[in-house]
Structure 1
């Protein structure tokens, strides 16, 4: 199109207004819950008074009646410190009759990994990065130590917050694909859900890396994303990412080919997602993909749309970050690299040179050289790059997979079943492009926005209704975030904030059944 509507960051003027609006929603929700609790307390108090005070004729009969031959056993009642505490005690006692008594919230353990931990798996080597445990709000009305024997008939209104069945590394990666470097962040309870005992719906967030496909590049981004998703009431999110095939930093499967092709990378994603969804029939997932990962996301959706639409319907959202979807060779970097990768034997020669350099040059000097030539990379990203250079097949995989991308990622190859056709079971899609992206040709980006984007324009979050709202939101960055956002903690935080906002919109739509 000749003219494009300018993009905006959000439907709010800035992040502060968005946060203020979120706080106001939580305040109104909390006020409503307090009002309901107060009304329940008053009803309980009234029923207790009516049960204790006898009628006038019953009182006279009780006075005239002789004393029983043996004293009756008097059941102890808990001391009433206040009307509110009495109500809470009554509710807990009601639950004690037919079901398990109410207990303080306890965090389960996921095999040997405690929930709330950040679990990193590098091939066969497990690494723990333990975060501070989530402390639930202090309950001033402690009822566990109060011994109440009466059986009350009033219905219970209190429910303890519990996690759903925990997901493990084995839930995401089937046996034939192991060992695979992976990152698993168990769900953190929403403070609002815990405070008001809301029912919780489980979701999983799957992240697909770009090339080079090491998931450890995204540790900061995925951790920040998990922190922000814990603010969404009524939901719990397990965040997971796995390195692409061939990028293990430790051992690799003995039968692994010299390099994993682009088509094989697609097959790996299909196998992992199918394994997860078939082993957890009620789970719904959202997939995020960076650069090549966005291409793998659409290829995965296409495969499931053709072969298993039921599984595809449970992928409720897909988010592409700086997506490389069409004609990669037309980008500025693609035009520079393509002539060299077609020289016979050049890639194998580069692999040998990289192996010699990494073997001969000490780590301190390598770190200095990376700091010199990669100033945008922070220390954690440089350490990941160093482990990538020293890995058994990482350099070879990055080079050969890159050539495969340049040769095979061409025209738009997906149909309306992937992009959206207005039918039930569509996957809500969001694509976030860079304003200046050296791996994306601007002409290809604008062509996709016009033909596939919602409204045929860069998405503007004004709250207006668009006729083709089942189509993807195509957003162009105005914040100066680079394509390689994952090597910077600042950009990782910004992208985590944006991703959490899109996830919240996707989940809200799913919960409403739209």
Structure 2
């Protein structure tokens, strides 16, 4: 397959969440992007980190046959979720897991974590009223504000504008900041046991300028797992690649998957 076709496969599979290819059933799951399930929302703390991990496992149990080969792709905290899924359900038939800009250790100690930990853990309530007031603005004005906020990003994908506008919502902001506060407290030590157990299935991709996961973390995991497929970005792609490098990242990911 060409890179373009591979990229289209990746994007199409994201829309349908799981698919069947050839005579092998293969599901492509993105832990960070699936929606709530009514049965899962009944569990306590569904918007917390543990609740989100259990939600992904519940999604697989409900919608994906147990004999399906799974390809997992995670970004940021989604990579931590993948490791937890592998640990909590060892019978998952995961054939490959791609870990993009993985925040799987020492989040609060990272440069961005040092700034955001007090905000998320102690000051997040201060932001609820301003967000509520912003949510009352006309849609066109909210779009203008989002465009203004993203003006310094090169080649911003315009498809993120409506998605970002939809996040100007108190409930959404409160849930996101609450989960973020848990990430700062709970994502501390790298789960080396799980990484070691599934190392042959894992592809790690670290950013060279990632303030959530500094380059030192890349060097540390390379030292601990020299035989692993652990890569450092050489293209200057930012942690939030969805803003301006989504297609480039999708093309690279497709190449890794289809070349493996």
Q: TM-score, normalised by structure 1?
A: 0.44
Alignment RMSD, CA only? 3.2
* Structure with larger RCO (C-alpha < 8 A, sep 6+): 2
- The offset of 1:183, in angstroms, is 3.4
> What secondary structure sits across from 1:372 in the alignment?
helix
In the alignment, which residue of structure 2 is the partner of 1:481? 237
Return the alpha-carbon distance in structure 1 between the equivalents of residues 18 and 217 of structure 2: 38
Residue-pair matches, total: 251
In the alignment, which residue of structure 2 is the partner of 1:9? none
- The offset of 1:291, in angstroms, is 0.5
- Deviations for 1:374-425, whole angstroms, at most 9, x for unmatched residues? 22343221210111223x621111111111111110011341xx3235xxx8
Contact 1:316 1:427 in 2 (8 A): no
Contact 2:98 2:204 in 1 (8 A): yes
Larger radius of gyration: 1
For 1:19-58, list aligned pairs within 5 A: none
In the alignment, which residue of structure 1 is the partner of 2:27? 204
In the alignment, which residue of structure 1 is the partner of 2:139? 363
In the alignment, which residue of structure 1 is the partner of 2:50? 263
Return the alpha-carbon distance in structure 1 between the equivalents of residues 43 and 66 of structure 2: 30
- The offset of 1:254, in angstroms, is 7.7
In the alignment, which residue of structure 1 is the partner of 2:15? 183
- The offset of 1:323, in angstroms, is 0.7
Matched, 1:349 2:122: no
Equivalent residue for 1:394, pick from 172, 176, 201: 172
Contact 2:80 2:102 in 1 (8 A): yes
Q: TM-score, normalised by structure 2?
A: 0.83
- The offset of 1:187, in angstroms, is 5.3
- Deviations for 1:249-271, whole angstroms, at most 9, x for unmatched residues? xx998857676111111111222
Contact 2:47 2:175 in 1 (8 A): yes
Return the alpha-carbon distance in structure 2 between the equivalents of residues 342 and 336 of structure 1: 11
Q: Structure 1 residues 430 and 285 mapped into 2: Cα distance closer, same or farther (>3 Å)? A: same
Return the alpha-carbon distance in structure 2 between the equivalents of residues 353 and 295 of structure 1: 31
For 1:342-491, list aligned pairs within 5 A: 342-343=121-122, 346-359=123-136, 361-375=137-151, 376=153, 377-390=156-169, 393-415=171-193, 418-421=194-197, 428-454=201-227, 472-488=228-244, 491=245
> What secondary structure sits across from 2:16 in the alignment?
strand
Q: Structure 1 residues 498 and 297 mapped into 2: Cα distance closer, same or farther (>3 Å)? A: same
> What secondary structure sits across from 1:333 in the alignment?
helix
In the alignment, which residue of structure 1 is the partner of 2:116? 337
Gaps of 5+ in 1: 1-17, 21-115, 120-166, 168-181, 190-198, 210-214, 216-241, 306-310, 455-471, 507-514
Equivalent residue for 2:59, pick from 258, 263, 272: 272
- Deviations for 1:451-480, whole angstroms, at most 9, x for unmatched residues? 0242xxxxxxxxxxxxxxxxx310001011
> What secondary structure sits across from 1:319 in the alignment?
strand
- Deviations for 1:270-307, whole angstroms, at most 9, x for unmatched residues? 22233445xx24321110001110110011111123xx
- Deviations for 1:112-170, whole angstroms, at most 9, x for unmatched residues? xxxx9x99xxxxxxxxxxxxxxxxxxxxxxxxxxxxxxxxxxxxxxxxxxxxxxx9xxx
Return the alpha-carbon distance in structure 2 between the equivalents of residues 255 and 496 of structure 1: 34
> What secondary structure sits across from 1:493 in the alignment?
helix
